Every structure is written in C-alpha cells, then in structure tokens.
Amino acid sequence: MRGRDAGPRAALRGGAHRMEHRSRRLGLVLLAALAVALFAAFVVLALLTGPDSALSAADRRVAAAFEAWRTDGRSHLFWLATLLGNYSLLAALSFSSVLLLAVWGRRARALLVAVGLLGAWGISEAAKAIVGRARPPAAQALIDLPHSRSLPSGHALTTLAFIGVLVFLAWRWSRGFAGREGAGPGWAAPGPALTVTIAAAGVAALIGVSRVYLGVHWLTDVLAGWCLAGAWLVALLGFLRPVWRRWTGRPGGPGPRVGRSLGRHAPAVPAVRIGAVMFAVALCIAVAVLTAVYGPLLRDM
C-alpha cells in the first residue's frame, strides 16, 4: 500500500512545486514590468520638460498656485517637512537605523537599508547630471536654492527609497511576529505594518509637496523622483534581495562563509543596545538642529 501511495504523493508534490515555480516566475515578470513602467515614466517626464514644453508651462502654473496659497503657518509646516528629507538628516537617520539593526543582530537588514539609501542617492545625482534641468527662479523660493540640478527631486527620490525599505522591513517583522504567535509564517498581521505604511506614505507625500511649495522644485521634478524611487525599490527588493538571500544561504543552502556572516546574529548585550539607542537619538537630534540652523526660511510668505 505504501508503494502504491508513494507515486500519487510524489506527483502531487511535483505539481505543487511546478505551480510555485510558475507563480514565482509570474511575480518576477510583473515586478519587471512595474520597474520598466516606472523608469519609462521618468524618461517621459525628463524628455517632455523642456523650457517651452506643455509640461513646463503646467509646472509654472502649479508653482504660481502654490505661491498664491502661501501663508506663514503653511510655510513653516512645509519648511519642517523639507528638513526631514535633507541629505544630512536622512544620512543620520539611515546611519542610526543601520546601527540599531546591526546591534540587534540583523546585519543583512542593516545592509539593505544602507544599500537602499546609497543607491538612491547615486541614482539621483546621476539623473540630475544627465537631465540638467534648471531650478525654478530664486525669486520665488522660500529657502536657498540648492546648487544641484532640478530633475529629479533628490528629496522625493531618497526619502521614498529610505521610507520604502523601512516599510518593507516593518511588513517582514509583522510576518515574523505573526509566525511566532502561531498564525502561520505566511500570514501578516496588517495592523502595525499597515499603520506604518499609511504614515510613511503621508510623510513621503508631504516632503515631495514641500519642495514645490518652497519654490525649489517643479512638480514634475517630484513626480520624476518618485518614479525613479519606485523603480529602484522594485529592483532592490524584488530582484537584488532574492539573489542576496541565496548568496547568504537563506533559504536553500548553506551559502558561502562570507555570505553567512551577514545573516542573523545574537543581539548585543543590553548595555551596548541602550548605548546605541542613546547615541542614535542624540545624533539625529543634533543633525536636525544643525539642519534647521543652516537651512532657514528666507521669508514666510
């Protein structure tokens, strides 16, 4: 009887394996299509925003509408929002995240955060140099115009990339927590992770809009930054991360010794963890204060 049952069971396992393989391939195809679509949208925006184009005219109308909408309270709100996306503060937040993840034994996730932000920064600088679009006039800006080019918005790109990686890690943590609570590894508790996702989307949108309100970017610059950030996140989390997991030996094999060294480790002793938290908080506060001091509002209205 056992011999008779072995064949059907093996066939069922083989069929399930083939279905899983096909679903993974379909998922990769859809992710590739999404990444290509987002990058194509960036290219279209970059090509159609010449000085005399219809998009540039629409940008000028949007900028004039924001300028007419300005008040003292809104100016301070959007100034605070734009400080969150400044490279110096974003670097401090990223370094703090990497430090805390590493201290808690999550070295692979720490490296993911670092690669996500550094890659986004490199993409932003390269795209600005290639496109070479001019900034809005300095007369309509409420803060000093940056020296870099305008398209894409570096604030929009890097903040969305950084926040996107953190949201991904929040969902991963939610799945792991649900598995430990007995709900099964495939089930994700939506509550905390969904709250983080909604809050993160709001912060990213606020930072992007602040660049247009403050007069240092055109609207299409922000849209182009979001498109590139989305393409980078899809590439990083959809394609690079599975290759990286295979290299580190999780799952499906032991992996190289150097790869295994990036896997999960025991967290540091409590004193080290407390010190790391205190240092990270102090660093972020200090950088935030310096960013506010050296990047003030030039005028309220």
In tens digits, the chain (301 residues) has pLDDT values of 455 555 555 555 555 556 666 667 777 788 889 999 999 999 999 999 888 899 999 999 999 999 999 999 999 999 989 988 888 888 998 898 898 888 888 888 888 899 999 999 999 999 999 999 999 998 889 988 888 899 999 999 999 999 999 999 888 877 654 444 444 444 445 677 788 889 999 999 999 999 999 999 999 999 999 999 999 999 988 877 665 555 555 544 444 444 445 555 555 567 777 777 787 888 888 888 887 877 777 655 4
Q: What is the pLDDT of residue 189?
A: 52
Cβ neighbours for 178, distance < 8 A, ≥ 6 positions apart: 184, 185, 187, 188, 189
- Residue range(s) defining the domain that contains residue 60: 7-294
Q: What is the pLDDT of residue 255?
A: 46
Report the domain count for the chain: 1
The DSSP 8-state label assigned to residue 104 in this structure reads T
Q: What is the pLDDT of residue 185?
A: 45
Q: Is residue 149 a part of any domain in this protein? A: yes
Cβ neighbours for 217, distance < 8 A, ≥ 6 positions apart: 135, 136, 150, 153, 155, 156, 211
Q: Is residue 301 a part of any domain in this protein? A: no
Q: Is residue 2 a part of any domain in this protein? A: no
Q: Is residue 299 a part of any domain in this protein? A: no
Q: Is residue 1 a part of any domain in this protein? A: no
Q: Is residue 211 a part of any domain in this protein? A: yes
**DSSP letters of 224-283?**
HHHHHHHHHHIIIIIIIHHHHHHHTT-SSS---HHHHTTSB-PPPPHHHHHHHHHHHHHH
Q: What is the pLDDT of residue 251?
A: 45
Cα(14)–Cα(8) distance, integer angstroms: 10
Single pTM value for the model? 0.82
Q: Is residue 180 a part of any domain in this protein? A: yes
